[in-house]
Amino acid sequence: MIAIKEKLPPMTPEEYFTWEEQQLEKHELIDSQVYAMSGGSVNHSRIAIRFTTMVDTHLDTSSCITANSDLRVNIAGTNNYTYPDVSVTCDERDKTTTQYITYPCLIIEVLSPSTESYDRGGKFRMYRKNPILQDYLLVSSTSIEIDLYHKKDTGEWLIINYQAGDTVELKSINLSFPIEQVYRNLDLTPETTP
């Protein structure tokens, strides 16, 4: 999804929640500024749905919560709120809130050409503030390629690049799957702007 800065005055989280309930589109709140979230491509949508379904099915008998892009993530220790494509929390503290979660162990973002640098840079810097986050998955929508940022026990982040023929391993939720499972029957030609 693409984030576009709105020309609105700075907002507190309370003002943001009240205001956004009256909007047709979703908006992120970053440093008191509101950003409209526009739609993604067909591949973006299909990949996000596949991950949501696969992860939710895998965690079906657990107490973890799998969320799609309709649930906000509060960046731990801040008043910033984002809408990742897929998130998972197994933290009991997230069961006391209804409009967002704060302690996901897994966040998945499907990349688009307009957001890739932000997802890899500024957004990841924000997400890393979460002490519970173990896996941050960046998924290409134009080629069979997934980058996993995995936090080791030492606190260092390891980057693993998965490509065709690889098995992706998400230690945060104990899930392994062949990468092709996500990309089956997709047209992987580069996206063009209409």
Q: Please name each of the domains of the chain with its CATH number.
A: 41-72+83-183 (3.90.1570.10)
Task: Please compute the mean of the pLDDT values over residues 31-56 and round it to a whole number.
Answer: 91
Answer yes or no: is pLDDT of 60 > 60: yes
CB 82 within 8 A of CB 28: yes
Task: Please compute the mean of the pLDDT values over residues 44-65 and round it to a whole number.
Answer: 97
> Which pLDDT does position 63 carry in this prediction?
96
Torsion, Cα 172 100 52 129, to 10 degrees, reads: -40
Q: Which of 7-16, 36-45, 121-130, 150-159 has the lowest mean pLDDT?
A: 36-45
**Kind of pairing, strands 86-89 and 65-67?**
antiparallel
Which tens digit of pLDDT belongs to each residue from 69-126? 999 999 999 999 999 999 999 999 999 999 999 999 999 999 988 788 889 999 999 9
CB 105 within 8 A of CB 76: no
Q: Can you tell me the distance from the alpha carbon of 69 to that of 27, in angstroms, rounded to the nearest whole number?
A: 11
Q: Can you tell me the distance from the alpha carbon of 118 to that of 115, in angstroms, rounded to the nearest whole number?
A: 5
Instruction: Work out the pLDDT band at 3, boundaries 50, 70, 90.
Output: low
Instruction: Work out the pLDDT band at 5, boundaries 50, 70, 90.
Output: low
Q: Which of 13-27, 61-75, 88-102, 125-139 has the lowest mean pLDDT?
A: 13-27
Answer yes or no: is pLDDT of 19 > 60: yes
Instruction: Work out the pLDDT band at 1, boundaries 50, 70, 90.
Output: very low
Written as one letter, the residue type at 50 is R
Which tens digit of pLDDT belongs to each residue from 140-169? 999 999 999 999 999 999 999 999 999 999
Higher pLDDT pick, 7 / 145: 145
pTM (predicted TM-score): 0.91
DSSP state letters, 110-126: E--TTTHHHHHTHHHHH
